[in-house]
């Protein structure tokens, strides 16, 4: 009788993850952040939830965000508990993330 354990996946470094994609950056930000809301956010889940590490806390309690290397996964929008902190949309056609061909 074969016994199977829980499914596991190999760990992928941040550099290897980013090396699989290209970003066709639009001049229009598809995600915008009202960082004034972030100052009163107790959880700040976006920092650990974003797989592209695009949310960076500042020493004065604010939050820096850069949309240019976004995977468009929507995780930040799902985990944000700040009312109206994140405005999310897809990039306009021809822009955004694309997987590289191997």
| Residues engaged in binding ligand SF4 (CB under 6 A) | 31, 33, 37-38, 41, 43-46, 49-52, 54-55, 63, 70-76, 80-82, 85-86
User: How do the residues of the chain divide into helix, strand and coil, expressed in percent and rounded to 5?
Assistant: 20, 20, 60
Tokens of 39: 């100052």
Tokens of 97: 């993330």
> What minimum distance in Å lies between the beta carbon of 92 and ligand SF4?
16
Residue 5 or 58 having the CB closest to ligand SF4: 58
Residue 25 or 41 having the CB closest to ligand SF4: 41
């Amino acid at each position: 009788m074969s016994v199977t354990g829980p499914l596991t996946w190999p760990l992928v470094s941040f550099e290897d993850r980013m090396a699989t994609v290209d970003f066709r950056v639009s001049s229009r930000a598809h995600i915008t952040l009202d960082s004034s809301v972030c100052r009163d956010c107790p959880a700040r889940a976006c920092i650990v939830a974003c797989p592209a590490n695009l949310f960076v806390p500042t020493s004065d309690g604010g939050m820096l965000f850069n949309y240019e290397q976004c995977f468009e996964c929507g995780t930040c929008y799902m985990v944000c508990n700040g009312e109206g902190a994140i405005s999310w949309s897809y990039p306009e056609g021809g822009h955004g993330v694309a997987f590289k061909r191997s």
